[in-house]
Amino acid sequence: MKKVLSTLLLVSVFSNSEYVNFSELSQDIFNKSINHLKSKVSSINQDSGGMATRKVGKRIKFPINQRVLFSNRNCDKVITDALYTSCYDYNSKISLMMHYTVDGNLLRSNYIKERPRFYGDNQINRKYRVEYSDYTHSKHDRGHIRSHASSSWSKKSILETYSMVNVWGQRPNLNRIAWLKVEKYERLMARKFGRIEVLNIADISKANKRTGKRQVLIPNGFYKVIYNNSFKRCFYYSNHNNYSITDKMKSHIVSCDRIYY
C-alpha cells in the first residue's frame, strides 16, 4: 500500500507533463492495487496446514429440524442407518454431526458386552473412507459417537456402532473418563423419559491436526445435545487429555442457544 501511495504522489507531481498520461497510469495503479488486495484476501481464506472450516456456521435452533441439518447443504453425504443419521464430510473424513434416538425400553431389554473390531464403511466412497489403521499410533482413541452401551441390545445394533463413520479421534482420558460420563447421562435420561434424542457435533473450527494415511481430521472438541419436547441439555468437551476421574459433568454444560454447526 505504501508503494501505491508513493507512486500516486509521483504521478500527481508530474501530471502536467506531456509525457505522462495521468488517467491511464492511475487506472493501471488502481487495478494492480485491487489485484493485490484480492490476492491477500484469497490467501487468508484458504485453508492452511490441513486446517478445516465448516461449510455453514449457523446456530442450532429448537425445535431441531433434522431435514435442514442433515442435507446436502451441510453434508457431502448423508448416511441414514437404523441407529443413527450421519452428516459425513469428505474433506475431514469424519461425521460432522450425528443424530440418534436412545430408547429406554431397549436399554433394559439386553446388554451384550462383545466388542467387534472397527471397520471401514462401504457406504463411503473408497477415496474418502477411513480405515481402522488411520488411528493406529495416533495418540487418539477411536471414540464412539453413538456408544456401544447405548446400542447393546443386539449383535446387529452393536456392529453398526463399530463403523468408522461412527468414530471421532478423541484423546484417551476424554474418551474413557469425561465423555463416558455424559454417555451414561444420555442413557439415564432415556430411561427417565422413555426415549431421548441426541445430537453430537464435532467442533472443527480452526482444527488442523490430521492422522493416518488418509489424513483424518482430529476435531478440537465435541458438543452433545440431549433433548426431547420438554427437556434439553447441552455439553461441550475440549479434545485434550487433561481429564481425571474428578472431572464434573456439570462443568461442561453450555447454553443450548450458543451451539453452532
Of the candidates 49, 135, 147, 136, the one whose C-alpha atom is nearest the C-alpha of residue 93 is 135
By the 10 Å C-beta count (0-12 exposed, 13-18 middle, 19+ buried), 59 is classed as exposed
How many helices (H) and strands (E) are present in the chain, helices listed first?
A: 7, 11
Annotated binding-site residue? 31: no
Is 144 a residue of the active site?
yes
CA angle 157, 158, 164 (to 5 degrees): 105
Asked if 166 and 183 count as a contact pair (C-beta separation under 8 A), the reply is: no
Q: Which of 99, 137, 140, 144 is catalytic?
A: 144
Nearest to 92 by CA among 65, 74, 110, 114: 74
Q: Cα dist. 73→54, 58, 69, 95 in Å?
A: 11, 12, 8, 14
4 vs 209: CA distance, rounded Å = 39
Please give the annotated binding residues, written as ranges.
175
Report, as residue numbers or ranges, the catalytic residues: 144
Binding residues for Mg(2+): 175
